[in-house]
Amino acid sequence: MEVKELELLAPAGKWETLEVAVENGADAVYLGGKRFNMRLLRPDFNFLDDEIRDAVSFCHEHEVRVYVTVNNLYFEPELDELSDYLAFLAEAGVDAFIVQDLAVVQLVRELAINVPLHASVQMGVANLEAARLLEKHGFSRVILSKNVSLQEVGEIHAGTSLGLEYFVHGDLCISHAGQCYMSSFIFGESSNRGRCRKPCRWRYEIRPAGEKYLGKHYFLAHKDLCLAAYLAELVAAGVTSFKVEGRMREPEYVGFLIRQYRQALDEVLAGNMERNFSVEQELSRRRVRDYTTGSIFGVPGEESIGYSGEREPHFPTRPIRLKPLTPEDYRDMPETGQVNPPRLSVKVGGIYAFRSVLDKGIDALIIGGESFRGQEESWTPGALAEAVELGRENHVAVVMETPRVIAQRDLSRVGELLARPEMRDLHAVMVNDLGCLQMARELGLPVWAGYGLNTSNSRAVSQLGYMGVSRVTASLELKFAELQSMAERVSLGLEVVVHGPLCGIITDYCPVRSTCGWPDDTPCLAACANTEYSLLDEYGQEYALRTDDRCRTHIYYPHDLCLFTYLPVLAETGVTSVRVEGQHYRPEVLARVVDLYQSALQQLRKGRWDVKRDYLELLKIFPGGLTRYPLLRGEKLDQGIMIRGECQ
C-alpha cells in the first residue's frame, strides 16, 4: 500500500463545520441529512437537501469527497421515502453512502444507483468473513468495529481488497456496535437508530449475590478514543481512512481536531513511522473526557473507564423506576374463531434442558450460542453432537445458533464447529453476524438470521434472502405496529421472540475483574464463575452480569420479556413462529414455561382464549419480574386493535 492513498475523514454537522474541516485539511467529510441518519436528536444539526447539493459542489471544488450517512435502521413505513432520498443523493453526486441497514443495499440494487457503499461501524464488522460477504454484495469499504485490534485489522486486510476505515478519535460505547439495546429497553429510544439515552453513563453499584456492594462508580463510562500517536501502526495494519468522530461538535472544535490529525497524518505521509505523542499532548489540553487507546492493543481494562464521572460533560438521563407486569395487567382477547397460530421455537442452554423439552411438540430447538461461566450446563462440542443426534432420532428440528459477537479471533473456533460432520444433520444454523452467514453458506448449511442482525423491515429481509437466509428473527426493538407492517410484506419465515431474558449490552470490558482489584497484567481468577454479580442503579434495580466463555460481559435488563397474553394479536400478523429464549432457565422451569406457551397456542388453534390462570402462574415462576417492552411500549391493545396510548 502506498501512503498517498491515506484519507483523513472529518465530521460535519453544520455548514460552518464543513468549511472548517476542508480548510484544515480533511480529505473527505461525512455528513447527514435531516432524515434517515443516526444523529437526529438535535434539530439544529444536519443538512437540508439543498445544503447537501451545495456541500457536494463546495467540497468537490476543493477536491474533497462527501460521504452521506444513510446509517439508520429503517421501519417499513419509511422505505418509500428512503428510496426517493437515495435517488436524490445519487443525483446530487455524493461520493458514498454510509450504510447500516441491509434494506439500503436492496434498494440501491433495485434503483440501479451507482454510488459506493461503505459499511457503517453499526454493522459491527469485526472479522474477515463479514468483510468478504459485504465485498461480494457491492461494498467498497468497511468501517471496522471499534473493538478490532491492530492484529485483527491486519488479518482482515490480508484477506480482502476492501478499503478499511477506522475511528481514531471520539466517543466510545461500552457495548459492541449494533448490540446495545439497553436504551431501547428502558426508554424506547434505540441506540441503533441514533437515539441513545446513555444508561451506560449512569453511576452503578456492583454487587456479588448475597454480599455487600463493592463500590459505586461509573463502571460503564468509557473514556474517549485518541489514536493520534498510533496512525503509523494503523497504516501498517492496512487502514486507509482515519475517521474523526464529532458531527454534533461545534465548528471551532472540529477545526482544531482536524488540524491536529492533519499534522499527525502528514508525518506518516512523509515517511515518519515512529510514534509521536506531540499531537496527542496538544489534543489532551482540550479533551472532554480522558483518553484511551480503545481496543487496538487488545481488550481494554479498567484504565479505559472514567470511574469517577468527573469529566463527563453531560448526563442526558437518570434511571427510572421500571414497572414489571402485575396480575392487573392481564387483558382478555376476543375469541375470533380458529386461527393458524405461529409455531414455537425454544432456545435451550444445555443438554439437560434440551432433553426436558424434547417431547413437547416444539417446531425447532435452538442450541449453541454463547456458553456462560457459572451456569449449571453449557454447550460443549460433545453436547452439541448429542443434541443433533437426539433431534434426528426424534424427528425434531435442531437449529444451532452462533454467538452475537464474532471477532476475528473467534472465527477459527466457529468455523471448525460448523464444519463438523454432525452439523450436516442440523435443520439450520442461526447466525447473528455476517461473518457466520458467509461461513455457513460456503459450507452449504441452511441459514436462519438471529435478532443480532437487527432486521427491521421487509427490504432487509429480502436482502438476507438474497444472501441465502430462509428465516429471519425480527429485531427486538420493533414496536407492534412496525412489526405488523413488516410481517405483511415479508416473503421469508419471520420469527418473534416472546419470552426470555433481555440482554441489553455486550462488552469486552469486565467490570467484575476491575472491582476485584486485580491488575490488568495478572491472570484472571474468574470470580464470575463462582459468584453471580449485578449492577444496581440508584433505585436498586438489578442488571445481571453474565460472562461468556470468551470473557465478554453480557448485561441484562432487570425483567424478562413476556408477551404471553398477546399471542392472539401476534398470530393475526402472520408471523411464522414465536420463540422462548430459555437458555438461562433450569430444565424444570423451562419445561413448565414451554407447557404454558404450547397450551396457549393450542387454544388459538381451537378458537378459544382463556389463559389468565397460566399468566398468573408465569408471574409466580418469575418473581424477579416480567415485561412486555419493547414490543408493546407506547401502545395498548383493545379487542385486538392497535391503539396509540400509554403502556406502563
Query: pLDDT tens across 314-355, in order?
Result: 888 999 999 999 999 998 776 666 678 999 999 999 999 999
State whether 358 and 279 are in the same domain.
no
Confidence tier at 1 by pLDDT (50, 70, 90)? very low
536 lies in some domain: no
Dist CA 265 CA 21 (whole Å): 15
State whether 266 and 347 are in the same domain.
no
Q: Is the CB of residue 223 less than 8 Å from the CB of residue 302?
A: no
The conformation of residue 429, written as its DSSP 8-state character, comes to E
State whether 638 and 570 are in the same domain.
yes
Beta-bridge partners for 366:
347, 399
20 lies in some domain: yes
Least-confidence region, from 234-238, 360-364, 477-481: 477-481
State whether 399 and 339 are in the same domain.
yes
Query: pLDDT tens across 196-221, in order?
Result: 999 999 999 998 876 766 677 999 99
Looking at residue 635, its pLDDT comes to 54
The enclosing domain of 348 has a CATH number of 3.20.20.70
Name the burial class of residue 251, with classes exposed (0-12), middle (13-18) and buried (19+) by CB atoms within 10 angstroms of its CB: middle
State whether 263 and 138 are in the same domain.
yes
Query: pLDDT tens across 558-593, in order?
Result: 999 999 999 999 999 999 999 999 999 999 999 999
State whether 230 and 359 are in the same domain.
no
State whether 253 and 356 are in the same domain.
no
Looking at residue 639, its pLDDT comes to 36
Query: pLDDT tens across 593-640, in order?
Result: 999 999 999 999 998 899 999 999 999 999 999 999 877 765 554 433
Question: Of 425 and 210, which is predicted with more confidence?
Answer: 425
Looking at residue 334, its pLDDT comes to 66
Q: Is the CB of residue 32 less than 8 Å from the CB of residue 46?
A: yes
Q: Is the CB of residue 312 less than 8 Å from the CB of residue 218?
A: yes
Least-confidence region, from 269-278, 405-414, 420-429, 465-474: 269-278
Query: Average pLDDT of 54-58?
Result: 99
The type of residue at 512 is: V
Least-confidence region, from 248-252, 258-262, 633-637: 633-637
13 lies in some domain: yes
86 lies in some domain: yes
Can you give the residue range of the structural domain that contains 138? 3-172+222-288
In total, how many domains does the chain have?
A: 2
212 lies in some domain: no
196 lies in some domain: no
Looking at residue 44, its pLDDT comes to 82
State whether 270 and 415 are in the same domain.
no
State whether 586 and 467 are in the same domain.
yes
The type of residue at 201 is: R
State whether 356 and 284 are in the same domain.
no
Looking at residue 637, its pLDDT comes to 47
For helices 458-466 and 102-110, what crossing angle results, to 10°?
A: 80
Query: Average pLDDT of 484-508?
Result: 97
Query: pLDDT tens across 361-386, in order?
Result: 999 999 999 999 888 888 999 999 99
Q: Is the CB of residue 7 less than 8 Å from the CB of residue 28?
A: yes
Looking at residue 522, its pLDDT comes to 72
Confidence tier at 646 by pLDDT (50, 70, 90)? very low
Looking at residue 644, its pLDDT comes to 32
State whether 344 and 439 are in the same domain.
yes
Percent of the chain whose pLDDT exceeds 70: 94
437 lies in some domain: yes
429 lies in some domain: yes
Where does a domain end: 270, 288, 306? 288
State whether 102 and 47 are in the same domain.
yes
What's the mean per-residue pLDDT of the chain? 93
